[in-house]
With several copies, the nearest count.
Chain A
């Protein structure tokens, strides 16, 4: 895979009367993590959703591998996974079923691949239980398995460490590090510093 590149220029976005993104520029290439920081309400969630195309940008453009994403939305979407504040899981399905339908929609999956991903995120023990019966952190781990399984170059993560125990914080760091090593790139909104190789880590601080 040639090195991927996400670039955004002069993003402007209003929520109701509020000018939330005031000309944000960013540039992340394969192997880099861009950490979004900023006080509560600074616009981290808004920026992540806008990049994914879930919030309407008033002005500015987003480029994926130097192509405007509006020219090939499906292609761009196929290259990214967005994980928001809440894990996108069906509470009546088991973790394995959730992954089968959710990530399976993106690329064909084998059962062993699913099992492996669940194992990698420490969710192997409860993959066969309905998600509804899982604790908050267990649910988050199942969602992270979906992230791993998708095998896409671009990760957009909104507070991925929420609800995770101390071992889980390290899990996130490990997952991101591996992803970067593989040439992927990630943008994550995290409040505390992640233990990631500083040469790969860049920071974008949003002001409220």
Chain B
């Protein structure tokens, strides 16, 4: 009984319809939050006493960097579920995650570089955090490359799943790199336990922005997921129904 939800989530037509219903909710909520964060972050929040207005890059850098890590984790978990329980929908989730994650990793790198020039005086240094984030991008690209080199989706799913799972070791490395090595990069400015290390007026837009980007990711994921689920269904009668018209 308790496993029925699990089976339903593994059922392509159910997921396809559910994703279709949920997409606008996540999408619009994300839109509202992001617009709010933009206004709050660019206009209301006061300039930083050290970094001036430059700190406002944080409102795009931190959420995208966070997404890059979170998406990889989702992808690895989905891949593991798909591999272990042989659930097609889970593989579809992993496949849908990769391009989104790769693009936000690239954006995190770019915004970080644009952040670095005024703050550290250079676009790029070979610092552990920066390097490991670059490697994360390579992992995403390798994952997508491996996927695209198989003709058969089922094989691509399973092979790339192994890579996603193995590559997940990089995620804690990125996250803790600032702790494990002495780094130019900012340490953790948010923590659930200790007291926040940045001022509240600056923190609110950051939280709004992070939540907004996360919801945005889910919305895009759901759209992609529908596509990936369709590609994996052959000759099922429900496909004919949903693609009619």
**A contact residues vs B (CB 8 Å cutoff):** 14-17, 19, 56, 130, 132-133
A133 contact from B151, B155, B235, Cβ within 8 A? B151
Task: Find chain A residues with CB under 8 A from B154 CB.
Answer: 56
Of residues 128 through 164 on chain B, the ones whose CB sits less than 8 Å from some CB of chain A are 151-152, 154-155
Known: A16-B151, A56-B155. 7 other contacts (CB 8 A): A15-B152, A17-B234, A19-B234, A19-B235, A56-B154, A130-B151, A133-B151
- Looking across the interface, which residue of chain B has its beta carbon closest to that of A132? B151
CB distance from B88 to the nearest CB of A (A): 10
CB distance from A18 to the nearest CB of B (A): 10
Taken together as a complex, chains A and B put the C-alpha atoms of A153 and B157 apart, in Å, by: 34
12 A-B pairs (CB sep. < 8 Å):
A14-B234, A15-B152, A16-B151, A16-B152, A17-B234, A19-B234, A19-B235, A56-B154, A56-B155, A130-B151, A132-B151, A133-B151
**B contact residues vs A (CB 8 Å cutoff):** 151-152, 154-155, 234-235
Name A's interface SS.
mixed
Pick the 10 closest A-B CB pairs, nearest first. Answer: A16-B151, A16-B152, A56-B154, A14-B234, A133-B151, A19-B235, A15-B152, A19-B234, A132-B151, A56-B155
- Looking across the interface, which residue of chain B has its beta carbon closest to that of A18? B234
Task: Find chain B residues with CB under 8 A from A17 CB.
Answer: 234
Task: Find chain A residues with CB under 8 A from B155 CB.
Answer: 56
CB distance from B161 to the nearest CB of A (A): 14
Task: Find chain B residues with CB under 8 A from A133 CB.
Answer: 151
Taken together as a complex, chains A and B put the C-alpha atoms of A76 and B156 apart, in Å, by: 26
CB distance from A133 to the nearest CB of B (A): 7
Taken together as a complex, chains A and B put the C-alpha atoms of A199 and B155 apart, in Å, by: 41
Task: Find chain A residues with CB under 8 A from B235 CB.
Answer: 19
Taken together as a complex, chains A and B put the C-alpha atoms of A133 and B234 apart, in Å, by: 18
Task: Find chain B residues with CB under 8 A from A14 CB.
Answer: 234
Taken together as a complex, chains A and B put the C-alpha atoms of A130 and B152 apart, in Å, by: 13
CB distance from B92 to the nearest CB of A (A): 16
- Looking across the interface, which residue of chain A has its beta carbon closest to that of B150? A16
Taken together as a complex, chains A and B put the C-alpha atoms of A19 and B236 apart, in Å, by: 13
CB distance from B132 to the nearest CB of A (A): 35
Task: Find chain A residues with CB under 8 A from B152 CB.
Answer: 15-16
Taken together as a complex, chains A and B put the C-alpha atoms of A22 and B53 apart, in Å, by: 66
Taken together as a complex, chains A and B put the C-alpha atoms of A19 and B234 apart, in Å, by: 9
CB distance from A50 to the nearest CB of B (A): 13
CB distance from A66 to the nearest CB of B (A): 24
Taken together as a complex, chains A and B put the C-alpha atoms of A14 and B151 apart, in Å, by: 12
Task: Find chain B residues with CB under 8 A from A15 CB.
Answer: 152
- Looking across the interface, which residue of chain B has its beta carbon closest to that of A14? B234
Task: Find chain A residues with CB under 8 A from B151 CB.
Answer: 16, 130, 132-133
Taken together as a complex, chains A and B put the C-alpha atoms of A17 and B153 apart, in Å, by: 10
Taken together as a complex, chains A and B put the C-alpha atoms of A17 and B234 apart, in Å, by: 8
Task: Find chain B residues with CB under 8 A from A16 CB.
Answer: 151-152
- Looking across the interface, which residue of chain A has its beta carbon closest to that of B152? A16
Taken together as a complex, chains A and B put the C-alpha atoms of A132 and B154 apart, in Å, by: 17
CB distance from A205 to the nearest CB of B (A): 23
Most chain B C-beta atoms within 10 Å of own C-beta, residue among A14, A15, A130: A14
Task: Find chain A residues with CB under 8 A from B234 CB.
Answer: 14, 17, 19
Taken together as a complex, chains A and B put the C-alpha atoms of A16 and B234 apart, in Å, by: 10
- Looking across the interface, which residue of chain B has its beta carbon closest to that of A130? B151
Taken together as a complex, chains A and B put the C-alpha atoms of A14 and B232 apart, in Å, by: 11
Taken together as a complex, chains A and B put the C-alpha atoms of A45 and B234 apart, in Å, by: 22
CB distance from A80 to the nearest CB of B (A): 23
Task: Find chain B residues with CB under 8 A from A132 CB.
Answer: 151
